[in-house]
Structures are given as C-alpha cells and as structure tokens.
Structure 1
Amino acid sequence: MELAFGGAAGIAVLLAYGGLMLAVGLITYLRNRHIHESLDEYYLGGRGLGVMVLFFTFFATQYSGNTVIGYPPTAYRIGYQYLVSVPFFICIIAVYLFFAPRLYALGRRFSLLTPVDWIDMRFRSRAVTILASILMLYALGNYLLEQFVAIGQGVSGLTGGTIPYQVGVVFFIVIMVAYSWLGGMRSVAYTDTIQGIALLFGVFMLLLGSLIYFGGPGTAAEVMRREAPDKLGAPDAAGVAHWFSLIALVGIGAAVYPHAVQRIFSARSEATLKRSFIRMAFMPFATAAVVFFVGIIGIAAFPGLSTGESEQLVGRIANALATRHVVFYWAMVLLFGGVIAAIVSTADSVLLTFSSIVSNDLYGRFVDRDASEHRKIRVGKLVGLAAVVVLVIIAWYPPGTLYRIFVLKFELLIQAAPALILGLYWVRLNTRAVFAGMLAGTLLASAMTFADWTPLGVFSGLWGLLLNLAICVLGSLLLGVKRADEAHAVEVIGMR
C-alpha cells in the first residue's frame, strides 16, 4: 500500500490523528475521574453507550482497515467469486441477532462484564471458565498481533517509507495504550466513532474516483472476458464448499469475539442495541461491497498484476487518483489515515477486552477474590501492557501473512461458541459435556491447522466445531444433568 504522494502529507495526517486520539483520552479522563474505580465504568463505559456511538464502535470492531487494504487485492485475483465477501458480514449480523438481545438482558440482570463472566455463571465450572478464557485470550492476542503488523505496514506505506515499519508500530501503540488507559471504554468508543467516519468517507471517495477515471464494472468485465474469463465464472463444487465454510467460520467467530460481546453489555438499553444492529445490517453493502467493486475495477485499471503486485492494488489506485485532481489527492491521504485509524481502533478494543478478561475472569476470580475493582483494573492494565510488549517484539519481524494470522484465531475462538450460545437456551446442557466438547474441538482444530489439512475444502475450525457440538449435544442427552444444575440453569436463563 505504498503511496508515492503521501510522504509529508501522510506524516502530517498521522501526527494530527495521534494528537486527536490523545486529546479524546485526556478529555474523557478529566470528565470521568472516577472511571478507574469501577469495572463497569472502565470496561463498559458505564453501560451507557447510545445508538450512534454503539453503532460506530460495532462498525470499527467489524470492519478493520484490513478490509479496505486486503479485500480489493483478493477480488482482483479471484474476480466475481469474491462477491462472497459480502455475505461474510451479513452472517455476522444474523448470528448477533440470534443471541445478542438475550445475552444483553442477562448482562443487565446479573451485571456481566465479559463473555467469560457469562460462561462462569452459567456452568459454575473452573475448568470450563479457564479453558474459555484461554481460547479468548489466544484469539485476542492473535488479533492484536495482526493489527500491530498492519499498523506498521500502513504507516510505512502512507509516508512513502519516511517513517519505518517498526517506528510506526511503536508510535501508534504508545498512543493507543495512553488513551485507552486514560478513558477506558468511553475513549475507545469515541475514537471508534471518529475513525469509522473517516474510513467511510475515504472508502466512498476511493470508489467514486475509480468509477470516474477507470470505468465501472462493465469495463472491468470486458477486460476479464478478454484476458481472464475464469474471473467471470462461478466457483466449482470445491470452491463453493470452501466459501460456505469460510462464511460459517467468520460469521460465528466474529460474532463471538470477546470485544464484540463486551459491546453488547455496553449498550444503554435493549432498544439501543437493536437500533444499532439495524444500522449495521446495511454496512456490508456500504463497506464490503464497495471495496469489492474497487478490486473489480482495478482489473481494468491495472491488468496483469502478479500476486505480489496485486497486494499493492489500493496503493496503486490511490496514487493514480491523487495525480488526477487535488480533491482526490487529499481524499486519498485522508483515506489511508482513516485506514490506519481503523486498524488502531480495532486494536484498542481488543486490548481493553484482553485486560478485562485477565483482571475480572482470571485475577479476580482465581487469584484474589477480595481485590478492589481499582486493583483489578490496575492488574489488567499491567498484564495487558506486558502482552503488548511481547506482541510488539513478535511484530517487529512479522511471522506470517496477515491472512494466515486472521484465519488461525477463528479456528480456536469458534470452539467457545457452543458454551456461549447454547448455554443461553438449553437448560439441560451438561457441564462435563461442554468442557469435553470445547477441549476436543480445540485439539482437533489445532492439529488440522498445523497439518494444513482441510477435508472437502472445509476449514479445520469447523471440523473442530462439529466435533465440539456432537460431544456437547450427545453427551448432554446421554449423561443428563443434575437436578441442582438444571434448577440453576432455569433460574439463570428463565427457560425450560
């Protein structure tokens, strides 16, 4: 994504963005000095996020800057088969709507702070709680690593290499940690709103410029028909199986992201939550579909790119647009500033939730039950900072492609879905079966991932989930449930 036009202007935009984020954190702290005394205030914004702020913080969580940078090159290489990227996000909303309103009501009733909080209350099992915590912390750490790598690449590209990759990583991580520590969830949500607006503006300007100067999908179709007719065709049976499995993996996995679930608990009311989801339902078409068509238009604008060259597609288009008109020059600089902002906005959410699971679900539950909320928050901050340092060291020389890092976290995170979602509706779910299923699914998905084995084109995480579900359901039917456990489940979820 290197931008030849972006050096000085890119540095100015990044410095302005960094200063704005620090200002948001400082103002939030000065207006809410008690924020560090309450877990609810620090990690959930006092459970008072309104419709627009909640919408944008969901948007920033779901659509990282990688959507803008990574999806167009894939559409360029695959063609119209990659239209499946739009259903990815539609499926996430569908899964949210299946469980989020009910989980929100229980979160209000029992003052739940994290998804692990819910799992612990529902099953009252140390083993289930610790395993779920490990899976979620692994996924969050994995996701943070992905964002750190993307931040460094983005800063280096936007400034034309003036700011080196490693300097970009450290600069924005320091800013992110500072405003997150100052204002907690409120700072994160407010910066998400700013970053979401910037990203939406930049994406639409990118599409508008592409349509004006490079022609529409019709022009791209003519190029594909002459040079790569396979990009106009439908996928074969194996391709269909692969994409349907990816839709399921991403749809379920992204919906049970711990930082996404925490936003459910942060809503001011159930009506606020539902109105935010109504707005989110339109965003796959306003974001994923837009960047998909940018990739398709890129086939006509820059035909014949190799795989490596296509990874720079968005930067090539932005450079070309910037030379055509001064409006698009500044729009493209702002676009890439927005992309980096969106990546940082995803990372700050992940870091906050990582800290909350450490402080509330592990430290507060198993290490020091009598710790004050202020002490729990401090422990979460320090452990989160230590994790950031370790991940920065790893990100200094990235260990693999962003796509590989992206997929691996879903393979394991999705194993927590049966406990999280089935536990909301089935009172006869057996605790031992839940633990056995979660552990077996994790081991199978891990083994298949490291062996790079995907039978029938289905991702290893889904094979693990199928085993997980089979053990959960059959184990619960065969073992039954103790009368006391069933009574507890009825009391908690209010269903028979």
Structure 2
Amino acid sequence: MQDLRFSGIDSIIILLAYAVIMVIIGWLAGRGENIGKSVSKYYLAGRNLGIITLFFTLYATQYSGNTIIGYAPQAYREGFSWIQSVPMLTIVIGVYLLYAPRLYTIAKKAKFITPTDWVRYRFQSKQVTILAIILMLWGIGNFFLEQIVAIGTAVSGLTGGTIPYGVAVIGFIIVMLTYEWLGGMKAVATTDVLQGSILLIGVIVMLIGGITLSSGGATSISENIAAIDQERIGVPDLFTNINWISMIVLAGFGAALYPQAIQRIYSTKSERTFKKSLARLAWMPPITVGVVFILGIIAIQLYPGLSVTESEEIIGLLANDIADLNLFYYWMMIIFFGAIVGAIVSTADSVLLSFSSIISHDVYGKYINSSASEKRKIKVGKLTGIVLVGLILWIAWNPPGTLYQIFVLKLEFLIQLVPVFILGLYWKRLSSGPVFWGMLIGAIVAAGMTIAGYETVFGIHGGLYGLTINIIICVVGSLMIPMNQEKRKKAEILTAIKTKTNNDLST
C-alpha cells in the first residue's frame, strides 16, 4: 500500500484504540453468558441476532477492507466496464433469498450449528458430508490467508512502516483470538457493527473528497477520461460481456455459500429479521462497491499512466491528497484507514470462527469423539483455530508458486455446493450418490482448468463448467437411479417447512 503522509503516531493511536475497543467488546459480549459451555451460544450467538447486528455482520462477511483496496485499482485498469462489480455483489442478495429463508426454517427446527449439519441431515451420507467439509475448509482456508496478508499490508502501509508487516499480522491475530475466545459469534457480530458503520461513513467521505480533487467536479470526469484514454469509457466487446455474466454468476452463488454466511442464517432471531436485514443489505452494493468503482474512475483522471503495480496503490494516493485538503479530511482519512484494517480483521474473525465450528462440531464431534461435551468441543475448536493460524502464517511468509491459483479456486470450489444447498432444499428426489459424484467431478474440472492455465474458456470460468457438469450428474443420476420409497418419504419429511422435522443428524 502507498505510504501515507498521515502515517505516524496519529495512525498508531487509532489502531491501538481499535484493538482495545475490540477486546472490550469481546469481554462484554461473553460476560455472564456461559458462552464457553454452549456451542449454540459460542458459534451462533444464541440464535438471537437482531436486524442491525445481522445486517452489519452480513455486510462485513461480504465486504472486507480488502474490497476497498482491491476493487478501486481494478476500476482504474478496466475503466467503466468494471461496473460489473455492482451487480456481481447484488446477485448475492438474490441467491440468499432463493435458499436462505427455507434453510433457516429447517435449521431452526433441527437446531443446526454448522453448514454441514444441513448436508448430513438432508442426504444422510458420510461421503457427501465429508466432501462438503473439504470444499468448505478449502474456501475458508484460502479466505483466511487472503485476509491475513491484507492485515499486514494495510497496517504497515497505514503506519508508514513504523509497524512492520510481521508485527502487524501477529499483533492483530492476538487481538482477534482474544475477543473471539471471550465472546464467540456475539463478539464477532458486535465488532462488525463498529467496523461496518465507520467503513460506510469513510467511503462516502472519500468519495466527496475525490470529487473535490477532480478538476471540474463530477460532471466533467467522463470528458476528462475520454481525453486521456477513450478505451476505458468504450462499450465492452462480446468476450468481456460473457466474462461479466460468468463472474456475476460465479461470485453471486459462490459468495452466498460462504460457510460463515450460512452460519449467519442460523444465528438469526427470526425469518422476518433475516428478510429485513437483507432488504437493507440490497442497498450496499451500489453504496459501497459503486462508490469504490467511482473512486477508481476518478483516479484515471487524477493519476494517468500508472502501471499495474502502481495502480494497486491508488487508494493510498487518493487518501494522501484528500488528507491534504483540510484538518477534517486528515482525521477522517486516518479513521477510515483504521476502519479498513478493522474490517479486514472482522472478516478474518468470521472465517476463523466458521473453521473452528466445522472442525470441532462436525469432524471432532461427529467422527472422532461423538460423546464429547459442548465445552470440550469449543476447546477443540479454539485449539484447531490456533493450528490454522499457524499454518496460514507459514504460508503467508512462504507463499507457494500456485497461491494465485488457490485464490481463483476459492469461489470455483464453493459454487460446487449449489446442488447441495439449493437443489437439495426443493427437489425431494435428489439423492446422495449423484450429489457426491457431481460435487467431486465438478471440483476436479474447476481445479484442472485452473491448474492447466484455463481460468476461463470463451470468457466462462472453469467453476461454471464444473457446476454445469455437477448439476447434470445430480439430475440425471437421481432420475436414472431413483431413491426407494422409504428414502424418498424421509427426504420429503426432512425438507418440509410446515411439518415437524427429525432432529437426528446422525449418518
């Protein structure tokens, strides 16, 4: 990140204040709640998240500080065609509405804790459950790695190198583990409210500052860009349009199936609360990603001719120049960049909590020690969280040559869960055998294309080719080898939302 003119003691004070506040929130969230003795309270905040808290924790799950830092440079490089980022994240809300209300109703009756509880409950298959766990853990591990690297880069850049990359990563990991252990999901969701609200205000202030900097104001931005580089305001070609649609579908379905997002569904106080939160969240793509897109477009005019590497630092460049406008903008940029760090941490803590819950509840509690107490499961989850942190730290310091490929595979693997979470909710005839082979072959196709260097073919991502094959196998296989009458009747009972469901999640 661009070294900032306002980096120094002021920035360090803001970051320390954020760290202290987050630890205090964790302590307050866990005080007197016996959170460490109940998996429901620790991992799902007692299934009692209200409209505001749920809104901000979903917001923090979908938008990290890395979105602010990463999307603006992409808009700078691509120009107006990067407007795809707005519908790309808007469709996530539509996918939530497609499956989440129904899943919530069943989850509440069956008392689900983790995303794989639904998989086990619906398909009654150890093979399907374990494969789903592997796909989810791959996505979670990759997501966490991305956030850890972003934390170190953001803090180091914000403080002008006064706090080195390594110290920043370790310091904020300790802060994150502390408040998460103290308050579980409740602490994570409450800190999300703090980070999300400051991030929203900061983005808007930065937009106002950016427009102030641009010569002639908002009305002349397009004209000025046209004079610099007409290609960036031109109509996209057919290949770009196909790639748009591919990315919108990939991100829309993949991001809606983040394990940490599914657990937010389980944590909701009521279906009405969830729908109201989503109604408000639907405004966030244009308000957040749309504003970041405009900042990238403004930067084309302000900083023409930047290389790809240089363009990665345009948020820092903009923040420097906005901070120079007056004292108000100076402090707002300090607080805003502190919020970016906090938002990255808030995304990382959600991912870590989801990872711990899957390992402790699904792997340890179901397959290793089925008689373990809830308190012991939580302890195992905390310890495995430390192991994940250690592994990810090692990778972050020694990144493999295929790190970019792993990043690409995050959504392409998660989207293979579409038949399990969406088709399985509505189609009673979907059976476990075709689901297993569909997921496995779909993931292999997505991985094979990426490793071979074919992230897209004709503009379409490998994950979508994999998903197409996945769905065909699921549908054709379920029709050719139908379930027997007993299993079909059981599937109808398990997926019913108006009748009493079976709470037995054993395979």
Deviations 1:115-152 (A, max 9, x none): 10000000000000000001001100000000000000
Map of 1:363-402 to 2, 5 A cutoff? 363-399=364-400
Q: 1:463 aligns with which of 459, 462, 465?
A: 465
Distance in 1 (CA, whole Å) between partners of 2:310 and 2:496 is 56
Map of 1:213-292 to 2, 5 A cutoff? 213-215=213-215, 216-292=217-293
Q: 2:116 aligned with 1:116, yes or no?
A: yes
Distance in 2 (CA, whole Å) between partners of 1:336 and 1:495 is 45
Closer/same/farther in 2, CA of residues 338 and 403 from structure 1, 3 Å limit = farther
DSSP 3-state at the match of 1:288: helix
Q: Which amino acid aligns with 1:177?
A: L
What corresponds to 1:129 in structure 2?
129
DSSP 3-state at the match of 2:426: coil
Distance in 2 (CA, whole Å) between partners of 1:392 and 1:332 is 29
Shift of 1:405: 5.2
Q: Which amino acid aligns with 1:302?
A: Y
What corresponds to 1:416 in structure 2?
417
Asked whether the 8 Å contact 1:146–1:405 carries over to 2, the reply is no
Distance in 1 (CA, whole Å) between partners of 2:223 and 2:72 is 18
What corresponds to 1:439 in structure 2?
440
Distance in 1 (CA, whole Å) between partners of 2:287 and 2:32 is 34
Closer/same/farther in 2, CA of residues 400 and 64 from structure 1, 3 Å limit = farther
Closer/same/farther in 2, CA of residues 50 and 421 from structure 1, 3 Å limit = same
Distance in 2 (CA, whole Å) between partners of 1:313 and 1:280 is 27
What corresponds to 2:154 in structure 1?
154
Q: Which moved more, 1:400-409 or 1:346-355?
A: 400-409
**Would you say how many aligned residue pairs link Structure 1 and Structure 2?**
495
TM-score when normalising by structure 2 = 0.95
Asked whether the 8 Å contact 1:103–1:424 carries over to 2, the reply is yes
Q: Which amino acid aligns with 2:426?
A: Y
Structure 2: runs of 5 or more not aligned: 499-507
Q: Which amino acid aligns with 1:197?
A: S
Shift of 1:480: 1.1
What corresponds to 2:504 in structure 1?
none
Deviations 1:298-344 (A, max 9, x none): 11111111111111000000001111111111111111101111100
What corresponds to 1:52 in structure 2?
52
Asked whether the 8 Å contact 1:219–1:300 carries over to 2, the reply is no
Closer/same/farther in 2, CA of residues 218 and 77 from structure 1, 3 Å limit = farther
Shift of 1:9: 1.4
What corresponds to 1:481 in structure 2?
483
Q: 2:173 aligned with 1:167, yes or no?
A: no
Asked whether the 8 Å contact 1:427–1:495 carries over to 2, the reply is no
What corresponds to 1:101 in structure 2?
101
Asked whether the 8 Å contact 1:195–1:338 carries over to 2, the reply is yes
Asked whether the 8 Å contact 2:143–2:410 carries over to 1, the reply is yes
What corresponds to 1:79 in structure 2?
79
What corresponds to 1:27 in structure 2?
28
Q: Which amino acid aligns with 2:425?
A: L
Q: Which amino acid aligns with 2:291?
A: V
Distance in 2 (CA, whole Å) between partners of 1:291 and 1:400 is 30
DSSP 3-state at the match of 1:424: helix
Distance in 1 (CA, whole Å) between partners of 2:391 and 2:436 is 29
Distance in 1 (CA, whole Å) between partners of 2:336 and 2:432 is 48
Shift of 1:397: 4.2
Q: Which amino acid aligns with 2:103?
A: L
What corresponds to 2:358 in structure 1?
357
Distance in 1 (CA, whole Å) between partners of 2:241 and 2:403 is 23
Q: Percent identity?
A: 50
Asked whether the 8 Å contact 2:409–2:446 carries over to 1, the reply is no
Q: 2:36 aligned with 1:36, yes or no?
A: yes
Shift of 1:385: 1.0
Structure 1: runs of 5 or more not aligned: none
